[in-house]
Amino acid sequence: MIIVTKAIGEIQINDDEVIYFPEGILAFEEFHRYAIVSEKENAIFKWMQSLDDPELAFLIVNPMDITTSYQPVLHHQALELIDNPSAENVNVWCIVTVPPNSAENMTVNLQGPLIINNKKKLGGQFISSSVKHGVKARILDLIEKNEA
């Protein structure tokens, strides 16, 4: 199907790329269908585009690409929402916020990771109970810490 995106125009996706979020994400509970899209296949940053509203999209990143030590702490039954995926079927993404005119200060929300059951195409936003994570971790600081 062809979808209209907020950031990269009209693109073609396959039906099996549609991810269903039974509870949406926090503050956007009424939007359930998303697809992960990017201009370049190997892009670090991708867009999680709503299929219900072309104007709704979140920039996302695989947290392991920017910090080696990330381990969300989840309630042991939280993943029932996405049908308890086995480890090899799990994808973890975190939402990125880029402040206008100050891309160096982009931050990532490590407190509320998006977890996707790749096999069942189900997703949800979960709350990590670790107090270290925070909703606004500066990405360049995380990278610097890795290098140190």
Partner 1 sequence: MLILTRKINESIIIDDTTEIVIVEIKGDQIKIGIKAPKNVRVYRGEIYEEIQKENKEAAKTRINQNLEDIIKRKK
Judged by the rule CB under 8 A, the positions of this chain that interact with partner 1 are 7, 25-28, 43-45, 56-59, 66, 75-78, 80, 95-98, 100, 103-104, 106, 109, 111-112, 125, 127, 129, 135-136, 139-140, 143-144, 147
Q: How far is the CB of 133 from partner 1 (least distance, A)?
A: 10
CB of residue 134 to partner 1, shortest distance in Å: 9
> In the complex with partner 1, which residue's Cβ is closer, 2 or 27?
27
User: Which residues 6+ apart lie within 8 Å of 57 measured at CB?
Assistant: 5, 6, 7, 47, 48, 49, 50
Give one DSSP letter per residue of 78-122, joined into a string: GGGGGT---GGGEEEEEEEE--TT-GGG-EE--SS-EEEETTTTE
Whole-number Å distance between alpha carbons of 98 and 64? 19
Cα gap 25→95, rounded to integer Å: 11
- The distance of closest approach from Cβ of residue 128 to partner 1 in the complex, given in angstroms and rounded to an integer, is 9
Nearer to partner 1, 3 or 50 (CB): 50
The residue whose two tokens read 């909703």 is: 135
Shortest distance, position 142 Cβ to partner 1, whole Å: 10
Minimum gap (Å) between residue 58 Cβ and partner 1:
5
The upper half-sphere exposure of residue 60, i.e. CA atoms within 13 Å in the direction of its Cβ, equals 24
Closest CB to partner 1 among residues 16, 147: 147
Nearer to partner 1, 16 or 131 (CB): 131
Rounded distance between C-alpha atoms, residue 37 and residue 13, angstroms? 8
